[in-house]
Amino acid sequence: MKLPTRVKLIDVGPRDGLQNEKQPVSAEVKIGLVHRLQDAGLKEIEVTSFVSPKWVPQMADNAEVMHGIRRKPGVRYSVLTPNMKGFEAAIAAPREEWPDEIVVFGAASEAFSQKNINCSIAESIERFAPVVAAALDKGIDVRGAMSCTVGCPYEGEIAPAKVGYLAQLMKGIGVQRVDVADTIGVGTPRKVQAAMEATLAHFDVAAVSGHFHDTYGQALVNTLAALELGVWNFQSSSAGLGGCPYAKGATGNVATEDVIYMLHGMGIETGIDLDKLIDAGVYISQALGREPNSLASKAIRTKRAG
């Protein structure tokens, strides 16, 4: 199949990237990251999550971050909302501070659903349904994240049929597009394609994105495997930040810098300025006191230093 000529990236660094950080990261730094990402040309940014601060303390400043960001026209800002309480908190601010899109997040694995959001898959869909309806009613778009579509830290390998089942449930409650997530980065190309194909049975290819953690170094080949199926939406984190607090051992998302280097090298457009993005990754890495977790960033910075 001919590969897509253009790819859209959602940088999930401010949310997925930072949610697992044990050290406090100020709202100011998070806002600074969002600004640098949009200045680099990102058109979609996952900013924060309206989850329980007891479960994920790092996201407790969600409202402050949403209030502080300077919106750039044409950029879509999304937030995670697991239940009505989270959705109501996300729209408690004036309308101009509302997210453009909310994300309900479920799992293809029962055990992970319990660990991450404290309910079964069926219960999660019951909780999401009113959230989806309320968002659509208010003109806010809805995405559904599907965790553990290839493997689960508690259940092991996940059959594609379970992914298809979750995708069908998401579709049934009005979710407009879905993320096929390899939460713990265990996937390899054929397995990722099987999870994608199970999802594509229920959603149009334009409504499916790949969300690959890079724990086993497979995220870039998995991205290519998804591109081969025509998928052209992907999620990644600048500087390769990330991990889920309820997925032990899961490391960061694939680095946005590495994905862009690969795509641009293949002649696939992203609209993103790689140099500016590298600087965004350096900014957040310095705030965290470490080096960016991206080989493309490292190589290009070494060359720059000449």
Which of ligand HMG, Mg ion, none binds 51 (CB below 5-8 Å, type-dependent)?
ligand HMG
Contact between 228 and 258 under an 8 Å Cβ cutoff? The reply is no
The tokens describing 277, both together, are: 């993005």
Q: Residue type for 156, please?
A: G
Q: Give me the catalytic one of 119, 148, 152, 244.
A: 244
Quickly tell me which residue has 């309308």 as its tokens.
Answer: 95
Contact between 132 and 104 under an 8 Å Cβ cutoff? The reply is yes
Among 30, 37, 40, 49, interactor with ligand HMG by CB under 6 A: 49
x/- letters, 247..286, toward ligand HMG (CB under 6 A): ----------------------------------------
- The span from the CA of 248 to the CA of 257, in Å, is 25
Quickly tell me which residue has 């601060």 as its tokens.
Answer: 53
Q: Total residues contacting Mg ion (rule CB under 5 A)?
A: 1
Among 16, 46, 179, 182, interactor with Mg ion by CB under 5 A: 16
Total Cβ atoms within 10 A of residue 197: 14
- The span from the CA of 150 to the CA of 216, in Å, is 13
Q: Write the CB contacts of 161 (distance below 8 Å, at least 6 apart in sequence).
A: 198
Quickly tell me which residue has 């003109």 as its tokens.
Answer: 139
Is 244 annotated in the active site?
A: yes
234 part of the interface to ligand HMG, by CB under 6 A: no
Please state the φ and ψ torsions of residue 34, each to the nearest 5 degrees.
-60, -45
Interface of this chain with ligand HMG, residues 130 to 159, rule: CB under 6 A:
145, 147
- The span from the CA of 192 to the CA of 210, in Å, is 9
Stretch that binds Mg ion, among 14-22, 100-108, 124-132, 291-299 (CB under 5 A): 14-22
In total, the chain counts a number of residues equal to 306
x/- letters, 95..114, toward ligand HMG (CB under 6 A): ----------x---------
Among 27, 244, 263, 287, interactor with ligand HMG by CB under 6 A: 244
216 part of the interface to ligand HMG, by CB under 6 A: no
Q: Which is nearer to Mg ion, 98 or 212 (CB)?
A: 212
Angle, helices 110-117 vs 121-137, to 10°: value is 60
The tokens describing 112, both together, are: 């992970």
Q: Which is nearer to Mg ion, 16 or 61 (CB)?
A: 16
Q: How far is the CB of 265 from Mg ion (least distance, A)?
A: 25
Q: Residue type for 55, please?
A: W
Q: Which is nearer to ligand HMG, 132 or 274 (CB)?
A: 132
Active site residues: 244
The residue ranges that bind ligand HMG (CB under 6 A) are 16, 19, 49-52, 55-56, 80, 82-83, 85-86, 89, 105, 116-118, 145, 147, 181, 183, 211, 213, 244-246
